Chain A
Amino acid sequence: DAKTTQPTSMDCAEGRAANLPCNHSTISGNEYVYWYRQIHSQGPQYIIHGLKNNETNEMASLIITEDRKSSTLILPHATLRDTAVYYCIVRVSGTNAGKSTFGDGTTLTVKP
């Protein structure tokens, strides 16, 4: 699986949008971009994933650049409960899929 690069940490004001970037310049055509978050001492929580189109669900939006070499996770109205470590991974999906390779993620701190 391709590797990803994320900033170590970011701050965001409560109520504002949090934009978390991820670089995945070596992504292959059949690899999806997945985002998870992990609140202290809990298991990673799935947020969203996409292949090449932008995606939105009740938790977040995922913007993938046209060349697919980078993406941005957007939390539209961050709350204090969104404080967590956010992981961006790229992974083949479907029957040929396997493990996920995690980096160290971005620690997002939402401040009042």
Chain B
Amino acid sequence: DTGVSQNPRHKITKRGQNVTFRCDPISEHNRLYWYRQTLGQGPEFLTYFQNEAQLEKSRLLSDRFSAERPKGSFSTLEIQRTEQGDSAMYLCASSSTGGQTDTQYFGPGTRLTVL
């Protein structure tokens, strides 16, 4: 399967712990996006990269959140000092600006539960 992959698929942690998620985009896709989705809501944008440059960050991305894409391939999203309100599905998507449109393709998500 050459789609977007995310690891882990599920993460349970205690409040105050740090967690890190990984996203591997579709090969050759230069853009990578992170979204967060809570139950019953549509995905909310967090941040996106073009190659290794972080081009936009949402106000939702508090200072406890940090995302990196060091070599323009995979990306990590770290949440420090997790809070119960961080419990959500974290989605990654990738796209390529090489064609006429840059359709975003989503991964399966990482479901975070903060106890």
B42, B48, B55: most-surrounded residue (chain A CB, <10 A): B42
Chain B, 4-43, CB within 8 A of any chain A CB = 4, 6, 33, 35, 40-43
A46, A93, A104: most-surrounded residue (chain B CB, <10 A): A93
Tally of chain B residues near chain A (CB < 8 A) = 30
Q: Which residue of B lies closest to A44 (CB)?
A: B106
Q: Which of B65-73, B76-84, B94-102 contacts A (4 or more CB under 8 A)?
A: B94-102
- List residues of chain B with CB within 8 A of the CB of A76: none
- List residues of chain B with CB within 8 A of the CB of A95: 97, 102
Among B93, B101, B107, contact of A49 (Cβ-Cβ < 8 Å):
B101
Chain A, 40-79, CB within 8 A of any chain B CB = 41-46, 49
Decide: B109 and A97 in contact? CB cutoff 8 A: no
3 tightest A-B contacts by CB? Answer: A102-B42, A43-B106, A99-B45
20 A-B pairs (CB sep. < 8 Å): A41-B111, A42-B108, A43-B106, A43-B107, A43-B109, A44-B93, A45-B106, A46-B103, A49-B101, A93-B102, A93-B103, A97-B97, A97-B101, A99-B48, A100-B43, A100-B104, A102-B42, A102-B44, A104-B40, A104-B42
Contacts A44-B91, A104-B40 known; list 16 others, CB within 8 Å: A41-B111, A43-B91, A43-B106, A43-B108, A44-B43, A44-B93, A93-B100, A94-B102, A98-B48, A98-B55, A99-B56, A100-B35, A100-B43, A101-B45, A102-B42, A102-B43
